[in-house]
Structure 1
């Protein structure tokens, strides 16, 4: 990043006055990991961020010096697909970098003049620290506005004229700074050349990542949990890529199963070459709700290193990690106080299970973060983190596809996360949100304890996320052996619908659709229903199971 005499940080942009430093900072002396106070101090020292229309930026401009005290990541040319290796930088976006030359006049890029934008300002009301949950109208300062020319007229950092114009595929410098700082704060990747790029949400990021590492002509395949996110499976299928399931337990992927599959791979029998990609949701896994412990993540990573497997870490529920369920002191019961709701942000961060990115010494993880489950799904915005080589290829793909998140999303999320909450406020929001989800989880579990037939149903209380995975012992069904698991599942599902409750069928999430089902499961969620509605819904579900089993 470049410093002017006036103390402002300038980012290369399609504006004559902007400059940037192309070489990353030299390796720094050993120092403490980045903290909230460290972020504030760095920003104060750097001064105002200046990034105009279509400004180029990257994470090296915003990482702390201590981030470089690591070796560089491995290169992944041997795993990247021919399609993504063949992509070249967008000529028009690359040409715009010439506008940083003083006095340059542009007749090149087709960037519309903001004078012709019909939107003069964007405004919203937001919840404020520490009064989350209180009506914004009752809290001073809840009205947030971004004008068309705030950079010019109000010494602002981001405005409508920049946010709603064309931008770079990695996202705006303003939001890239925030996600880079947040990533370092949470994960502290253990290699030097990591980078972030904004995404259009994790589903879009997954589609791009699969195209980067998989190719049907190479007969590539993907490993994932034996029950996996249905939309992820539906994203993989049209690409002509085979999916194979790894056995799981209450902590998610079983490292031994992963190792056994890879060690004994038979290309002819499987109809695909040995997999080179693992897709996993380590926290609050969808649909099972399983969360990998720190030890489990290290063991899974070790197997991936042994077999040179690249990891796609999808973590939309990571920040919704909760204390264990206590039936006697359920958070859903009146008068029970969540002692974690006033936890310090430092203790909150220390209590999170380490990310796979945080143990990734090779640079073999592409981590996908999302605002969908913790802020608003409709933002269609998140970010990815990986090695510089992988992110550079990811950006080449986005330049000719999504071109990055919508300017509206970037503008509103910047005003909320950076200018209004800051990193401290965002973490306090997550702590508050965890309490909300813990109450919902406990309400659903209380209802299960009260209404479900435990002689044929069982479950593991989730430690993260928003899903509860219910096991139904099909071997005790009166028609076991006469009807298949799929037929019994259909019978229970239909009975649930007749009684007015929807629970997702486990078969919808089965990674290997043509294989025999390993069991009978139902997925439920505590994402949005009220405590009263969940109690009624679980009562109806219990009735449906009892009717099917004749109990």
Structure 2
């Protein structure tokens, strides 16, 4: 049966609130930043104490018209099914009882935490650059007893003690609200769970759903750590062909339709790992139609989709080419949110998408702070794993990020920050593309301008190598890598990102990042890479061996012919 149509609403500025049976006034929609204060009031008293029992249900809008998600008992691993709740964590729910004196838990007294306060300097909304932060930034002081003193909803006494596998109530509230504002999952029983970053979350998800010998499907080139995390668990990756928009749904369907357990040595895969926006390493971004097609294939074959989206908010302005004015940034929060490609989570009418979000690319990787969004059933199993492993992100990270995002910027200020970094990454992307256009010979290197993320994927015309067909592609790739290092530039070989490590390579690629270095250094790095590439391909010898008429156009300048190529210039007297 064909899946229901996925008509996704835009982000409204306001909703209608009935006052009497004959009149109505405009009030902020619950699904906007402006609607958050009213939603919090409706949630009742906030319980954010030490090890507070919490969940997204406390913080979501109550939209009961939405359907319930599918159940996934048939996909859970034996390991996940065997996990029981933590007795000690569960007992913490009684701590909220007024007048309770607890001698039951192992919570140390905050009297002996040797941190009276911490202070961080952060940008004010709209003045986000480093220079502006130095001049106009604000110092946020986080004390040990801010909650009891009525200064904040979160303090060091709570943050630095033990917590729940869900993460702190304070940060869980913020990410739940943020997820609903941005994605508004179309089923009722979704939840968010805070984790210590996507790699940790991914390892838990593999163990929740995969047995040894299972396959995970991904793009043919994928995040190297995703493959390396699965390998020790006995889980293998299988790559699906990609184009400029990422994973090809037709190829995914064919792979699953024709699955042969005997030939493959494993059961039919049911976990798809994908990075839809600014895919690492290729920089490709799945458009809305592509995501809908992938989701329909997932419905047909009953797949679970792990949607790893650290680059979702690094969707950039369209590339307009060198010496052309950039496309204007979104003027409002609504315009910004509507400019984003709808997530798979936002299309997920079944509850088959497990979305992984992270602050690593938009705040800082060292915070080790992210969250998953999935069905309540999947999140409950995930928490059981957290309780006996990572427990939750560092209390320092949680309380600092909470003070910045929830109490200093708020949801609206956070969106302003995301628009700011969109502008910054767009400028960086444009610099590296212009450097490639200037220095890389078009006969050897080609690329698609990335629409999101922080990676630029360069295809090398390996068939132009003098020894193509006589040497393995991986050997030529290594020659380019070593020559690049010799020229003092580091680029990542495409083979590092192959989903299937034991398959013979048929293409040659290199990944460059435009996130880490300043503009002049990026330009210089591409110039150096061009030198290395030409050396390995003996490009000047190849060019010089051509008939003169095939090398380049001629220009008559002051009685001399000036012979121009993409790699060198020769001047000669006319014959």
- TM-score after normalising by structure 2: 0.87
Residue in structure 2 matching 1:222, options 216, 224, 234: 216
Name the residue aligned to 1:172: 168
Name the residue aligned to 2:52: 55
Take 1:456 and 1:225, find their aligned partners in 2: how far apart are those partners?
24
1:276 and 2:270 matched: yes
Take 2:363 and 2:85, find their aligned partners in 1: how far apart are those partners?
32
Alignment of 1:7-406 (within 5 A): 34-44=31-41, 46=43, 49-66=46-63, 68-133=64-129, 134-139=131-136, 142-216=138-212, 219-329=213-323, 336=325, 339-340=328-329, 343-406=331-394
Shift of 1:101: 3.6
Residue-by-residue CA offset, 1:296-348 (whole Å, 9 max, x unaligned): 00100110111111111100000010122111445xxxxx56620x6211100
Name the residue aligned to 1:26: none
Over alpha carbons, which structure has the higher Rg?
Answer: 2
In structure 2, do the counterparts of structure 1 residues 59 and 432 end up closer, same or farther at CA, with 3 Å as the change threshold? same
Take 1:229 and 1:146, find their aligned partners in 2: how far apart are those partners?
37
Shift of 1:530: 1.2
What secondary structure sits across from 2:331 in the alignment?
coil
Name the residue aligned to 1:12: none
- Verify the 8 A CA contact 1:242 1:272 in the aligned structure 2: no
In structure 2, do the counterparts of structure 1 residues 47 and 421 end up closer, same or farther at CA, with 3 Å as the change threshold? farther
In structure 2, do the counterparts of structure 1 residues 293 and 337 end up closer, same or farther at CA, with 3 Å as the change threshold? closer
Take 1:207 and 1:329, find their aligned partners in 2: how far apart are those partners?
45
What secondary structure sits across from 2:84 in the alignment?
coil
Please say which of residues 93-102 and 275-284 is displaced more in the overlay.
93-102
What secondary structure sits across from 1:449 in the alignment?
helix
- Verify the 8 A CA contact 1:280 1:313 in the aligned structure 2: yes
Name the residue aligned to 1:511: 499
- Verify the 8 A CA contact 2:320 2:327 in the aligned structure 1: no
What runs of 5+ residues in structure 2 fail to find an aligned partner?
A: 1-27, 540-575
In structure 2, do the counterparts of structure 1 residues 337 and 298 end up closer, same or farther at CA, with 3 Å as the change threshold? closer
- Verify the 8 A CA contact 1:48 1:157 in the aligned structure 2: no
Take 1:122 and 1:76, find their aligned partners in 2: how far apart are those partners?
44
RMSD (Å), alpha carbons: 1.5
Please say which of residues 95-104 and 173-182 is displaced more in the overlay.
95-104
Q: How many residues align?
A: 511
What runs of 5+ residues in structure 1 fail to find an aligned partner?
A: 1-30, 331-335
Shift of 1:267: 1.3
Name the residue aligned to 1:549: 537
- TM-score after normalising by structure 1: 0.91
What secondary structure sits across from 1:161 in the alignment?
helix
Take 1:135 and 1:428, find their aligned partners in 2: how far apart are those partners?
15
- Verify the 8 A CA contact 1:220 1:276 in the aligned structure 2: no
After TM superposition, the runs of 4+ consecutive aligned structure 1 residues lying more than 6 A away are none
Name the residue aligned to 1:10: none
Shift of 1:69: 2.3
What secondary structure sits across from 2:147 in the alignment?
helix
What secondary structure sits across from 2:505 in the alignment?
coil
What secondary structure sits across from 2:73 in the alignment?
coil
Take 1:294 and 1:516, find their aligned partners in 2: how far apart are those partners?
32
Shift of 1:106: 1.7
In structure 2, do the counterparts of structure 1 residues 534 and 101 end up closer, same or farther at CA, with 3 Å as the change threshold? closer
Shift of 1:44: 4.8
Take 2:41 and 2:103, find their aligned partners in 1: how far apart are those partners?
37
Name the residue aligned to 2:571: none
Take 2:349 and 2:327, find their aligned partners in 1: how far apart are those partners?
37
Take 1:293 and 1:33, find their aligned partners in 2: how far apart are those partners?
27
